[in-house]
């Protein structure tokens, strides 16, 4: 993918975020050139600071909705990683423009900037949230019709449609990845961090949204990045989509049990808010069919339960985040 004589020039939206900052570390190891474009709404410059202005990394603090800045910054790159988006699903219900602006319209701007510079390759972070409540589990890439139940899922589905059309009309090649619940160090939200924060405030009681019976596939950020590279290197469709995650899942009450154990707590009173969904737009039952990735020789290196435990340990400072690559 890269060589010492001709390093690939990568442009990463959201490159100072949770997944993006891990990706930067991987690309630096490869010796490639990287431009991080991030408005720091959820990312942290500190996560990539030691690479900026050395190791071939340039940082631009700007918003994807600023079309002039985005277009100017993207010039001279070979591959665009579009990771930037709102990823706080409950927040999208409180601000109904959040996902349309920061997912769909931002993606349109990214595609227009790509078109302006004649860039031909795009990697896009989509989401399993676009499956909504799948009638058949595990959900495969050919499932349909797709009926998201959150504005985040709906916005990402619209992004996939835009990318498909741009690929067909303007000769762009795209790899789109429907992530499961990616976990690890540097997470800014999600159930694992939420449980830790609640128990740090009150180690005797834990509020759990819903009935605790929902199950989700959790997988580590380094597995996510390795899966992306695998599909990127081994496939050549003009526009392709992949489920990326574990084939196992963890029930929310088991997430709570793992967090409680890793925090060394006992006799914690679990308080369930009730209802099948943890919040409006929550998908309570999800399993992903990752057979398409398995055919390429990739599978997650940890089960969902193992990923939850490792992520909890990293957030608690008991285990360093693993570098990828």
- CATH superfamily assigned to domain 9-183+218-246: NAD(P)-binding Rossmann-like Domain (3.40.50.720)
Burial class (CB in 10 A: 0-12, 13-18, 19+), 237: exposed
Residue-wise pLDDT for 222-236, tens only, equals 999 999 999 999 999
Task: Say what the pLDDT of residue 5 is.
Answer: 52
**Would you say residue 1 has pLDDT above 70?**
no
Average pLDDT, integer, range 14-22: 97
Residue-wise pLDDT for 70-123, tens only, equals 999 999 999 999 999 998 888 888 899 999 999 999 999 999 999 999 999 999
Asked if 192 and 259 count as a contact pair (C-beta separation under 8 A), the reply is yes
Residue-wise pLDDT for 143-186, tens only, equals 999 999 999 999 999 999 999 999 999 999 999 999 999 999 99
Q: Count the neighbouring beta carbons within 10 Å of the beta carbon of residue 61.
A: 13
Task: Say what the pLDDT of residue 174 is.
Answer: 98
Q: Which residues contact 205 (CB under 8 A, 6 or more apart)?
A: 268, 269, 270, 271
Task: Say what the pLDDT of residue 319 is.
Answer: 76
Map out the domains of the chain as residue ranges.
Answer: 9-183+218-246
Q: Count the neighbouring beta carbons within 10 Å of the beta carbon of residue 215.
A: 21
Task: Say what the pLDDT of residue 143 is.
Answer: 94
Task: Say what the pLDDT of residue 219 is.
Answer: 95
- The rounded distance, in Å, linking the Cα atoms of 14 and 125 is 10
Q: What is the mean pLDDT of the chain?
A: 94
Task: Say what the pLDDT of residue 321 is.
Answer: 60
**Would you say residue 3 has pLDDT above 80?**
no
Average pLDDT, integer, range 259-263: 97
- The rounded distance, in Å, linking the Cα atoms of 320 and 163 is 36
- The rounded distance, in Å, linking the Cα atoms of 222 and 228 is 10
Task: Say what the pLDDT of residue 89 is.
Answer: 85
Average pLDDT, integer, range 194-216: 96
Residue-wise pLDDT for 298-320, tens only, equals 999 999 999 999 999 999 998 77
**Would you say residue 2 has pLDDT above 70?**
no
User: What's phi and psi for 253, nearest 5 deg?
Assistant: -70, -25
Average pLDDT, integer, range 2-23: 85
Tokens of 251: 């029930």
Picking from 314, 200, 65, 132, the residue whose alpha carbon sits closest to that of residue 323 is 314
Task: Say what the pLDDT of residue 7 is.
Answer: 83
Q: Which residues contact 208 (CB under 8 A, 6 or more apart)?
A: 195, 252, 253, 256, 270, 271, 272, 273, 278
């Amino acid at each position: 993918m890269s060589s010492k004589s001709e390093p690939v020039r990568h442009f990463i939206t959201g490159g100072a975020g949770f997944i993006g900052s891990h990706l930067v570390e991987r690309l630096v190891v490869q010796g490639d050139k990287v431009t991080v474009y991030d408005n720091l709404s959820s990312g942290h410059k500190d996560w990539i600071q030691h690479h900026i202005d050395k190791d071939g990394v340039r940082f631009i603090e700007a918003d994807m909705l600023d079309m002039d800045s985005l277009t100017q910054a993207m010039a001279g790159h070979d591959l665009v990683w579009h990771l930037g988006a709102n990823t706080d699903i409950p927040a999208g219900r409180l601000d109904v423009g959040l996902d349309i602006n920061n997912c769909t319209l931002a993606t349109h701007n990214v595609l227009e900037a790509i078109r302006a510079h004649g860039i031909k390759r795009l990697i896009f972070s989509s989401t399993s949230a676009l499956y909504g409540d799948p009638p058949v589990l595990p959900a495969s890439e050919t499932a349909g019709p797709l009926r998201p139940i959150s504005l985040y899922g709906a916005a990402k589905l619209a992004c996939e449609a835009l990318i498909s059309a741009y690929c067909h009309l303007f000769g762009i090649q795209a790899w789109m990845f429907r992530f499961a619940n990616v976990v690890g160090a540097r997470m800014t939200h999600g159930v694992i961090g939420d449980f830790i924060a609640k128990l740090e405030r009150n180690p005797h009681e834990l509020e759990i949204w819903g009935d605790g019976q929902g199950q989700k596939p959790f997988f580590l950020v380094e597995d996510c990045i390795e899966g992306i590279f695998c599909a990127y290197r081994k496939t050549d469709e003009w526009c392709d989509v992949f489920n990326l995650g574990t084939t196992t899942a963890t029930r929310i009450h088991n997430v709570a049990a793992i967090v409680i154990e890793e925090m060394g707590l006992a006799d914690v009173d679990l308080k369930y808010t009730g209802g099948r969904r943890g919040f409006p737009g929550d998908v309570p039952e999800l399993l992903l069919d990752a057979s398409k990735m398995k055919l390429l020789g990739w599978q997650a290196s940890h089960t969902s339960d193992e990923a939850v435990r490792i992520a909890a340990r990293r957030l608690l400072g008991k285990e360093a985040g693993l570098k990828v690559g």
